[in-house]
Amino acid sequence: MTATDGLVYIIDDDPYIRESLQELLRSVGRRAWTFETTQKFIASDRPDEPSCLVLDVRLPGRSGLEFQRDLRDAGIQIPIIFITGHGDVPMSVAAMKAGALEFLTKPFRDQEFLDAVDRAIRIDSECRGNASILGELRDRYDELTSREREVLALVVQGKLNKQVAAELGLSEITVKVHRSNVMRKMRAQSLPDLVRFTDRLNAQAKGIG
């Protein structure tokens, strides 16, 4: 990913702030879309690409912090950089605890803002890459039969074929066939590969991956 990849969304009811930040981003080759309200942002047809959201804390109607919660509840995951002229410690703590990437108090330095945007775009790009990999792993896992999933669960625990056979009431030869199918379908080159794939799927299921 180059320094100019990614799209920056700016929501601020102050047209001067919107225009100045957009021009600053353009000066370094970054694309930026601006919105005066959160409603217009939600209604926009946004491309599926790495991005971040620059969000004013104090907006007409629902505040930036409330909108942050709305996005999270809707399952919309996008790195958020808060900007405010009225920031205080409790507000910044609340924003960061809710997952905000940065909390900048106006007036902030241009480079401080650009650095935050670079970091946000990079993080979103990495998250999208991880999501793509996890999606592929999930598709592979879904191809397994119920018996193959049982064998997989025991194999990644380090159990030998004869132990798996005894636990599932199968012959050792049958376990070997199932294990071979699991390796092929999961596209694992080795047992450590299989363990790593399974760990990632388990972490995703628990909401920590």
At residue 206, does pLDDT exceed 80? Answer: no
pTM score, whole prediction: 0.66
Per-residue pLDDT, averaged over 158-170, amounts to 94
Which pLDDT tens digit goes with each residue over 4-22?
Answer: 589 999 999 999 999 999 9
Closest CA to 52 of 14, 94, 82: 82
CATH code that applies to domain 143-205: 1.10.10.10
For the chain, give the percent of residues with pLDDT over 70: 94
Task: State the angle between helix axes of 146-155 and 172-186 in degrees (0 to 180), rounded to the nearest 10.
Answer: 90
Identify the CATH number of the domain defined by range 7-128: 3.40.50.2300
Give the number of residues written for the chain: 209
Q: In the prediction, which pLDDT does 178 show?
A: 96
DSSP annotation of 47 reads: -
- Residue 82 is given by DSSP the state E
pLDDT, tens digit, 9 for 90 and up, residues 56-115: 888 877 788 889 988 888 878 899 999 887 666 677 777 777 778 888 888 899 999 999
CB of 186 within 8 A of CB of 156?
no
Mean pLDDT of 184-205: 86
Q: Does pLDDT of 48 surpass 90?
A: no
pLDDT reading at 39 higher than 70: yes
Crossing angle of helices 110-142 and 191-205, in 10° steps, is 110
- Per domain, the residue ranges of the chain are 7-128, 143-205
Q: Which residues, 6+ apart, have CB-to-CB distance to 144 below 8 Å?
A: 152, 181, 182, 185, 186
pLDDT score for 156: 92
